[in-house]
């Protein structure tokens, strides 16, 4: 028997197997997304262009996830998801009249699907590659040196009326938008800047108004949200 030929054949076989497993791992995230996530999340775009479609949307659009989220946050959240929109995707479907003001009807909200560490990591990587809107991100420059001071919070709560829709602490603030006290760890700062500057550039029919906020005020409010996210909200609840 020619051992050299047998050895070479074995090596070719082993290399082939290695190539197969690596490509299977790389493709995993995309497969999980299409098989387990696409029934609720839009992974291809474009964003809804009618109010009817926006009200029927089941989950946040993920087709520009790489422009929007911090990859490490996505990986961690998918293993231990916690509610971000206090009254779900469309608040009108999940509120009931309370004594003084509307309250969230928790019985109508469901828990998010949980992933293993390996799956969450593969999905987070596949999502990070989705960056069709990166020209909007590249147009922004975040300045971490702009101190929010007390003005950052005043602007958010009062001057621009942002708190009417966003919670700045668990249970404190409006119900129709995502909580912002975790936004700083969830979102890229450039995404926050761009979204506040012009929400409709991202999502043409979204009900967040464009308040034409001057750049320095946007920077202050973003840094206010970044600071909020550094607090340990789990310990306080
Ligand atoms: C039954 C519908 C449904 C399915 C299936 C689903 N999601 Fe979600 N997902 C939601 C909803 C609703 C939210 C908003 C949660 C909130 O605001 O508290 C959400 C939020 C998210 C977020 C956070 C984004 C943000 O801006 O709030 C990520 C990331 C995410 N989902 C990824 C996934 C992945 C990955 C899968 C598949 C493994 C998946 N989802 C399957 C409904 C779904
Ligand atoms: C009328 C309600 C409303 C007002 C007022 C409002 N927002 Fe929003 N905001 C929203 C909605 C709705 C979204 C996106 C919803 C989604 O992704 O499900 C949003 C998204 C955001 C996001 C991205 C959050 C995320 O997790 O995706 C930031 C940051 C934000 N708003 C900041 C502000 C600031 C700053 C102001 C004041 C200048 C403001 N908002 C005023 C409703 C509002």
User: What local confidence, expressed as pLDDT, does residue 213 receive?
Assistant: 97
Tokens 């474009």 -> residue: 46
6 within a domain of the structure (yes/no):
no
Strands annotated E in the chain: 95-96, 103-104, 167-169, 172-173
* Residue to substitute in 68, 112, 181 for testing ligand 1 pocket (most ligand atoms within 8 angstroms of CB): 112
49 within a domain of the structure (yes/no):
yes
18 within a domain of the structure (yes/no):
no
What span, in angstroms and rounded, lies between the C-alpha atoms of 113 and 81? 8
187 backbone dihedrals φ, ψ, rounded to 5°: -115, 150
Instruction: Looking at the CA of residue 33, tell me the nearest atom of ligand 1.
Output: 37
Is the Cβ–Cβ distance between 81 and 114 less than 8 Å?
Answer: yes
Taking CA atoms only, the protein residue closest to ligand 2 atom 17 is: 60
Query: What is the band of 192 on the pLDDT scale with cuts at 50, 70, 90?
Result: very high
Q: Which residues line ligand 2 (CB under 6 A)?
A: 60, 85, 156, 160-162, 164-166, 176-178, 180, 183, 186-187, 192, 195-196, 206-209, 211, 213, 221
Is the Cβ–Cβ distance between 64 and 45 less than 8 Å?
Answer: yes
129 within a domain of the structure (yes/no):
yes
Q: How many domains does the chain have?
A: 1
Query: What is the band of 236 on the pLDDT scale with cuts at 50, 70, 90?
Result: confident
175 within a domain of the structure (yes/no):
yes
- Per the structure, the complete domain to which residue 158 belongs is given by 23-236
What span, in angstroms and rounded, lies between the C-alpha atoms of 143 and 120? 31
User: What local confidence, expressed as pLDDT, does residue 23 receive?
Assistant: 47
Strands annotated E in 50-209: 95-96, 103-104, 167-169, 172-173
- Answer yes or no: is pLDDT of 25 > 60: no
Other Cβ atoms less than 10 A from the Cβ of 181: the count is 19
Q: 223 CA to middle of ligand 2, Å?
A: 15
Taking CA atoms only, the protein residue closest to ligand 2 atom 23 is: 192
What span, in angstroms and rounded, lies between the C-alpha atoms of 191 and 217? 15
- Which residues does residue 169 pair with via DSSP β-bridges, in sequence order? 172
Taking CA atoms only, the protein residue closest to ligand 1 atom 10 is: 59
User: What local confidence, expressed as pLDDT, does residue 32 receive?
Assistant: 97
pLDDT in tens, 112-171: 999 999 999 999 999 999 999 999 999 999 999 999 999 999 999 999 999 999 999 999
47 within a domain of the structure (yes/no):
yes
- Answer yes or no: is pLDDT of 8 > 80: no
138 within a domain of the structure (yes/no):
yes
95 within a domain of the structure (yes/no):
yes
What span, in angstroms and rounded, lies between the C-alpha atoms of 222 and 193? 7
Mean pLDDT of 4-17: 64
Q: 61 CA to middle of ligand 1, Å?
A: 9
Q: State the greatest distance between any 2 C-alpha atoms of the chain, in Å, as a whole number.
A: 89
What span, in angstroms and rounded, lies between the C-alpha atoms of 47 and 104? 26
Q: What is the pTM of this model?
A: 0.90
Taking CA atoms only, the protein residue closest to ligand 2 atom 39 is: 162
Q: 62 CA to middle of ligand 1, Å?
A: 9
% of the chain surpassing 90 pLDDT: 77
Tokens 């969450």 -> residue: 120
pLDDT in tens, 70-108: 999 999 999 999 999 999 998 888 988 888 888 899 888
């Amino acid at each position: 028997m020619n051992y050299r030929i047998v050895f070479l054949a074995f090596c070719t076989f082993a290399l082939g197997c290695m190539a197969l497993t690596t490509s299977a791992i790389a493709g995993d995230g995309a497969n999980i997304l299409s098989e387990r996530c696409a029934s609720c999340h839009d992974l291809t775009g474009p964003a809804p262009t009618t109010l009817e479609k926006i009200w029927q949307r089941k989950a946040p659009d993920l087709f520009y996830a790489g422009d929007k989220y911090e990859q490490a946050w996505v990986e961690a959240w998918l293993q231990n998801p916690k509610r971000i929109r206090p009254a779900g995707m469309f608040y009108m479907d999940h509120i009931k009249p309370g004594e003084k003001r509307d309250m969230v009807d928790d019985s109508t909200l469901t828990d998010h699907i949980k992933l293993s560490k390996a799956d969450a990591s593969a999905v987070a990587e596949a999502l990070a590659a989705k960056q069709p809107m990166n020209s909007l991100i590249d147009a922004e420059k975040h300045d971490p040196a702009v101190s929010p001071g007390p003005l950052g919070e005043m602007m958010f709560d009062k001057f621009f009326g942002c708190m009417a829709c966003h919670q700045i602490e668990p249970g404190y603030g409006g119900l129709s938008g995502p909580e912002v006290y975790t936004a700083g760890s969830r979102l890229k700062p450039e995404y926050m800047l761009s979204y506040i500057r012009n929400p409709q550039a991202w999502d043409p029919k979204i009900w967040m108004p464009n308040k034409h906020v001057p750049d320095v005020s946007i920077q202050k409010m973003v840094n206010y949200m970044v600071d909020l996210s550094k607090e340990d909200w789990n310990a306080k609840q």
